[in-house]
Amino acid sequence: MESYSESYKKAGVDVTAGYKAVALMKSHIARTMTQNVLTDIGGFGGLYALDVAGMQQPVLVSGTDGVGTKLKIAFLMDKHTTIGIDCVAMCVNDIICCGAKPQFFLDYIALGKNVPEKVAAIVSGVAEGCVQADCALVGGETAEMPGFYPEDEYDVAGFAVGVVDRNKILDSNTQKAGDVLIALQSSGVHSNGYSLIRNVFTVNSQNLARYFPDLGTTLGECLLTPTKIYVSAIQSLLQEVPVKSIAHITGGGFYENIPRALKKGLSAKINRNDVQVLPIFDLIAKTGNIPEHDMFNTFNMGVGMMVCVSAEDADRAVRVLNEAGETAYVLGELVESDEGVILG
């Protein structure tokens, strides 16, 4: 008998819409499948055969995150095909900081009303993020929750698992004064600080459609630019250069995230003029009259990821990252200090 409940539908949950959403998303999920995936979608769990050939002691690395209030921009613009990339990025960019390679990803979408085409659009972005991160989308959950979320709103979260050989886990204890910090440019705001952004700008459809010459696009399109996924570039770097630590610059900006990747007793000395700040951050600061310290303590300011290497490896690291398609440059150096970040 076909699964259907008229009573449940009257309560606001249409199970048939869920089946249609799954059917629509299958082609997107298929893009992410690898030979390691042993199950199709629809089961109670996703099976993944972990390839640990050549590893002496494989260690699993996990990460989970969401997209936050950046979703409000997607709602206003009625654009849902990129927000899934952000979800994947926020998870995989964290786990590569250990030196791990992402293996698989799962998503969770909760919404007020299941519109199959919208769900499929969201999942298309998740699949694109997985393709960029070279990991498989092995499962997920779509939860229709009327009365909990407004009908036209949703939330998205994700979970990623990677693997790294234990002897290759990055260790900041190998750092010393004089080591060099390298910046990898961000694609924009990424997925942090949107509560402050929505406080700075009057965020509505009209203002999001406003074109800014300095941005080269509308405010909305700029703010909705997907978070950059650094997996491929970092994997290339790890194969070529001894990396001491990596920091993903997310919520808390420079002042919170960079110290997490530093050895105790060392600080990051960064010349403010060397930071290649993207135009969107100048616009946010000017419009909201936000102090520079608060900007660097909230946003990535144009630096999505920071890598620490020995001084003798710095030029090669920058070259490898640039050849991998990133915009990389020397950001600063390590000095003996307990300040964490010295930005002057």
User: For the chain, what are the domain ranges?
Assistant: 6-168, 172-343
**Distance from the Cα of residue 271 to its chain's centroid:** 26
pLDDT at 213: 96
pLDDT at 45: 83
Strands 266-270 and 328-336: antiparallel
Strand residue runs (E) in the chain: 58-66, 101-111, 136-144, 154-165, 180-185, 211-212, 217-218, 243-248, 266-270, 303-309, 328-336, 341-343
Q: Return the CATH number of the domain spanning residue range 172-343.
A: 3.90.650.10
Structure tokens at 123: 């999942």
Question: The domain at 6-168 falls in which architecture?
Answer: 2-Layer Sandwich (3.30)
**Would you write out the chain's pLDDT as a tens digit for each of its 344 residues?**
456 666 556 656 666 766 677 777 778 878 888 888 887 776 788 888 988 888 999 999 999 999 999 999 999 999 999 999 999 999 999 999 999 999 999 999 999 999 989 999 999 999 999 999 999 999 999 999 999 999 999 999 999 999 999 999 999 999 999 999 999 999 999 999 999 999 999 888 889 999 999 999 999 999 999 999 999 999 999 999 999 999 999 999 999 999 999 999 999 999 999 999 999 999 999 999 999 999 999 999 999 999 999 999 999 999 999 999 999 999 999 999 999 999 98
pLDDT at 157: 97
The verdict on pTM exceeding 0.75 is: yes
pLDDT at 37: 85
